[in-house]
């Protein structure tokens, strides 16, 4: 197994009022210092060679952790005589690591199947792989622009002005580096890990994004530390590790998440149904993943391009994010089997397994995120959605928004009915508590 590096040399100014004179990595979360939680998570994935960068108040870190023997690992320290930023200490690893190594920011709490992430990195090619995910505050986070295969195409800094539509895909603070990524670094140079090391290598195509639904959250502010403590106490942090079977609520888009407006093909026309962000936020804090499965024949009909559809989905991300909610992922089918329209794109006018009520997209999501479909749900506003859920082996909820089941395509009965997504989620979570 490769080396792991925990970047713990920061000043910890955001926690200074609540924990004066204590390094941020030693701030307790649910009674255990952040860095000890990190070491325990690394050990659970087989990492026992761990380097810790220390500077400000570093003696406290050394005294608390020692050589790591008490935690079942071997610890070594990379000492900073002066602050080198989040990336400066990595230069000291040149020639000292033979293969890929992990880098973990010292204020995140995580529980991740690191073997999966390493496999993704090595399938590359990549020099740097970022663990990325949506979060409940994309408006003040560093955002990653990546294609579906994981190649990082761009970066929006938290300091940059936000456009009307942007992806809720956040750099989490967990990385895999290959030695080539640090070859040009100078020792004792102050560097920002993202701005000075990661972003310049995006242009060369050497950076990839590993999208995961696992728990990774910055606990470096009082408010976020409180959220993490709740997640730890509820078991959510451990449960989201992809070594465990997951549960999901699959969500239709038009008529369920957003107001049904026919063949929606402009971002400005997208409007959330009432209370949707509140409902999805409840899912985000629950044992269930929130994954959208949607037919989008606007591509086959040539009403919009794939790039324009992506912008529509970014607008959906923005509106949900403004309400403190997010989709764990979104899958769409661009096909439509019926031809005959003069402007149509014939390459998309084909029968396929991904168009609902086909279950190709549900199966793809289940494989990627290790989802147990028998313990999952499908929520939508049409009989097509109900047939999709039943065929996939999930339970189903029909909502009265959108078409309200009046499409009349299939003679199916849902397991539950609800006025809207908020009521549907409440019913699902009530059953979860009773089970």
Place of tokens 């005589």: 81
Q: CA-to-CA distance for 22 and 136, rounded, in angstroms?
A: 28
Is it the case that residue 435 has pLDDT exceeding 90? no
Q: CA-to-CA distance for 312 and 264, rounded, in angstroms?
A: 9
* Residue 366 pLDDT grade (very low, low, confident, very high; cuts 50, 70, 90): very high
Is it the case that residue 14 has pLDDT exceeding 70? no
Is it the case that residue 83 has pLDDT exceeding 80? no
CB under 8 Å to 36, separation ≥6 — which residues?
Answer: 64, 65, 71
- What secondary structure letter does DSSP report for 81? S
Q: CA-to-CA distance for 125 and 267, rounded, in angstroms?
A: 34
Tokens encoding 324: 């403190």
> Residue-wise over 208-238: b if at least 16 C-beta within 10 A, else e?
bbbbbbbbbbbbbeeebbebbbebbeeebbe
For residue 247, the model assigns a pLDDT of 98
Q: What is the pTM of this model?
A: 0.94
Residues pairing with 251 in the sheet: 292, 379
Place of tokens 């037919």: 295
User: Mapping DSSP to helix (H, G, I), strand (E, B) and coil, where does residue 377 land?
Assistant: strand
Q: Among residues of the chain, what percentage have pLDDT more than 90? A: 80
Residues 39-77: tens digit of each pLDDT: 999 999 999 899 999 887 889 999 999 999 999 999 999
* Among the ranges given (69-78, 79-88, 315-324), the one the predictor scored with the smallest mean pLDDT: 79-88
Q: C-alpha 217: how far from its chain's center?
A: 10
Q: CA-to-CA distance for 4 and 292, rounded, in angstroms?
A: 34
Enzyme catalytic residues: 252, 254
Place of tokens 């989008």: 296
Residues 266-294: tens digit of each pLDDT: 999 999 999 999 999 999 999 999 999 99
* Residue 187 pLDDT grade (very low, low, confident, very high; cuts 50, 70, 90): confident
| Residue 302 CB neighbour total at 10 angstroms | 15
Residues 139-154: tens digit of each pLDDT: 989 999 999 899 999 9
Q: Burial of 123 by CB count in 10 Å (0-12 exposed, 13-18 middle, 19+ buried)?
A: exposed
For each of the domains in the chain, give its residue range(s) and CATH number, in order of start: 3-227 (3.90.550.10), 245-434 (3.40.50.1000)
């Amino acid at each position: 197994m490769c080396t792991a590096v925990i970047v713990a040399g920061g000043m910890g100014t955001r926690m200074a009022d609540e924990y004066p004179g204590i390094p941020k990595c030693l701030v307790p979360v649910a009674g255990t210092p952040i860095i000890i939680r990190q070491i325990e998570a690394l050990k659970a994935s087989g990492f026992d060679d761990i380097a810790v960068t220390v500077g400000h108040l570093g003696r406290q870190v050394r005294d608390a952790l020692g050589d790591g023997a008490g935690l079942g690992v071997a610890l070594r320290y990379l000492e900073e005589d002066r602050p080198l930023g989040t990336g400066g200490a990595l230069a000291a690893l040149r020639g000292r690591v033979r293969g890929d190594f992990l880098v973990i920011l010292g204020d995140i709490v995580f529980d991740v199947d690191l073997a999966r992430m390493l496999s993704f990195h090595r399938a590359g090619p990549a020099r740097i792989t970022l663990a990325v995910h949506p979060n409940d505050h994309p408006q003040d986070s560093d955002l990653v622009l990546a294609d579906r295969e994981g190649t990082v195409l761009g970066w929006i800094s938290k300091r940059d002005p936000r456009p009307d539509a942007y992806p809720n895909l956040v750099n989490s603070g967990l990385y895999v580096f290959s030695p080539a990524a640090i070859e040009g670094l100078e020792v004792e140079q102050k560097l920002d890990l993202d701005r000075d090391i990661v972003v310049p290598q995006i242009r060369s195509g050497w950076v990839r994004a590993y999208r995961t639904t696992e728990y990774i959250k910055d606990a470096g502010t009082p408010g976020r530390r409180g959220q993490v403590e709740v997640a730890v106490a509820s078991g959510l942090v451990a449960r989201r590790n992809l070594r465990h079977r997951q549960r999901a609520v699959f969500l239709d888009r038009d008529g369920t998440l957003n107001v049904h407006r026919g063949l929606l093909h402009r971002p400005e026309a997208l409007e959330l149904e009432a209370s949707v962000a509140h409902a999805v936020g409840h899912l985000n804090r629950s044992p269930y993943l929130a994954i959208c499965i949607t037919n989008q024949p606007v591509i086959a009909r040539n009403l919009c391009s794939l790039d324009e559809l992506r912008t529509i989905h970014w607008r959906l991300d923005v509106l949900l994010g403004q309400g403190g909610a997010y989709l764990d992922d979104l899958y769409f089918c661009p096909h439509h089997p019926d031809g005959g329209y003069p402007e149509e794109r014939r390459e998309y006018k084909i029968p396929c397994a991904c168009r609902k009520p086909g279950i190709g997209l549900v199966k793809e999501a289940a494989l990627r995120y290790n989802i147990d479909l028998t313990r999952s749900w499908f929520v939508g506003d049409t009989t097509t959605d109900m047939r999709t859920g039943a065929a996939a082996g999930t339970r189903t909820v029909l909502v009265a928004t959108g078409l309200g089941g009046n499409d009349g395509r299939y003679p199916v009965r849902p397991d539950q009915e609800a006025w809207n997504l908020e009521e549907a989620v409440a019913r699902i979570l009530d059953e979860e508590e009773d089970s």
